Amino acid sequence: MKEISEILKAYSAAKAAGKKTALATVVKVEGSSYRQPGARMLVTEDGLLTGAISGGCLEGDALRKALLSINQQQNKLITYNTSNEDDSEVGLQLGCNGIVHILFEYINDEVQNNPIQLLQQLELKRKEAVVATVFSLERQAAQIGTILFYREDIEVIYSNTIALSILEDVKNVIQNKTTIVKKIEDNNHNEALLAYINPPVSLVIAGAGNDVQPLVKIASLLGWEITIGEGRATHATKKRFPEAKNIFVVKPEQLLENITIDEQTYFVLITHNYKYDLAVLKLLLETNCQYIGVLGPKTKLNRMLDDLQNEGIHLSEEKRKTIYGPIGLDLGAETSEEIALSIVSEIKAVMSGKKGSSLKFKTEKIHDTNNLV
């Protein structure tokens, strides 16, 4: 979601400056690729790039293709065969062993529900959604482009009647929470990228000490929305945490009153105040929060659990699984910056359903592409 947010900001700036733009989207991948379907990049007519469709190896040629799309005011599909190091057409010797199909869409501000307008719907509410982009691998075929935005609480927004034929598939994408590429049953050999998009991660940090500062900086680089709650007005300030979206000087019982907890909400208890952390933990156990990280040694967490049990609060095995203490992956972290890295890494692993082990020992592909059909 961070990439999309940056693209929307860049588009607004380009529009204000009177610059024309094109949106590049990875719509299909065969084999291995640095970016997967759904990756996007905005290109302005003066060559400014926002977002990424590869690790940097395709962007140079993609810029030229995007400018062609802008000049001709047409959508264009370009295929890069990165498995052939001697590919004279691309000439990049990428060595990724894959074929990447990228759709370039000219953004016409006068067209209702153009790709950017559909993407803008994502920022109106913190809820999962699907964006559908239709393309064809046939030579000389018309490239329809991004046509649909779907979220469960609104009527579907679309700009082409093809959207109605894939609506059930779109709903299944929401249910399964996975991006797919779907062949459309028509005479034009069209396919549709149905991109599942989650709202930004909401990281709630109880604490505003100096060791929270690198945690906020790293999380903000990932585009996470950060909320800080702390009882000390001298510590919980915008000056100390300029990247935080919300900063509250509150008592423990007031912190959760300001928070909406959803599937993308993660809590870190790092106040260095045992009673404050315990009070917040007690409240969180009454919610559906799936990650509660507690800073400190195992003895601290065991003491907290014992105190809760003495109050008559008995934790089920499922609820215990949501508590992570000591917090963070085992990276050998010592400094506050290293500890922040281990915390963010653990949260990312938990949200992805991964163990956080080294890719060196992974026997299958890095990216799970089984859902792309």
pLDDT at position 98, please? 78
Phi and psi dihedrals of 131, rounded to 5? -120, 125
pLDDT at position 88, please? 40
- pLDDT at residue 90 above 60? no
pTM: 0.81
CA atoms within 13 A of residue 333's CA, in its CB half-sphere = 21
Using alpha carbons, select from 96, 97, 24 the residue that is nearest to residue 63: 24
pLDDT at position 155, please? 79
The model's confidence at residue 240, banded by pLDDT at 50, 70 and 90, is: very high
- pLDDT tens across 247-263, in order? 999 999 999 998 989 99
Using alpha carbons, select from 237, 235, 204, 209 the residue that is nearest to residue 219: 204
For residues 324-337, average pLDDT? 95
- pLDDT at residue 95 above 60? no
Distance CA(74)–CA(348), nearest Å, equals 38
- Out of 38-42, 69-73, 351-355, least confident range: 351-355
Q: 209 near 270, Cβ under 8 Å?
A: yes
- pLDDT tens across 102-142, in order? 999 999 999 999 999 999 999 998 899 999 999 999 888 89
For residues 308-326, average pLDDT? 94
pLDDT at position 120, please? 95
38 Cβ partners below 8 Å, 6+ apart? 25, 26, 179, 193, 195, 196, 197
pLDDT at position 216, please? 98
What average pLDDT does the structure give for the chain?
Answer: 90
- pLDDT tens across 352-373, in order? 898 888 888 877 766 565 444 4
Q: Count of CB atoms within 10 A of residue 153's CB?
A: 7
- pLDDT at residue 157 above 80? yes
Question: To the nearest whole percent, how much of the chain has pLDDT over 70?
Answer: 93
133 Cβ partners below 8 Å, 6+ apart? 25, 27, 103, 115, 145, 146, 147, 192, 193, 195
Q: Burial level of 314, CB count in 10 A (0-12/13-18/19+)? A: exposed
pLDDT at position 189, please? 87
SS (H, E, C) the chain: CHHHHHHHHHHHHHHHCCCCEEEEEEEEEEECCCCCCCCEEEEECCCCEEECCCCCCCHHHHHHHHHHHHHHCCCEEEEEECCCCCCCCCCCCCCCCEEEEEEEEECCCCCCCCHHHHHHHHHHCCCCEEEEEEEECCCCCCCCEEEEEECCCCCCEECCCHHHHCHHHHHHHHHHCCCEEEECCCCCCEEEEEEEECCCCEEEEECCCCCHHHHHHHHHHCCCEEEEEECCCCCCCCCCCCCCCEEEECCHHHHHHHCCCCCCEEEEECCCCHHHHHHHHHHHCCCCCCCEEECCCHHHHHHHHHHHHHCCCCCCHHHHCCEECCCCCCCCCCCHHHHHHHHHHHHHHHHHCCCCCCHHHCCCCCCCCCCCC
pLDDT at position 373, please? 40
pLDDT at position 371, please? 45
The model's confidence at residue 169, banded by pLDDT at 50, 70 and 90, is: very high
Phi and psi dihedrals of 355, rounded to 5? -95, -10
pLDDT at position 186, please? 77
Phi and psi dihedrals of 246, rounded to 5? -130, 140
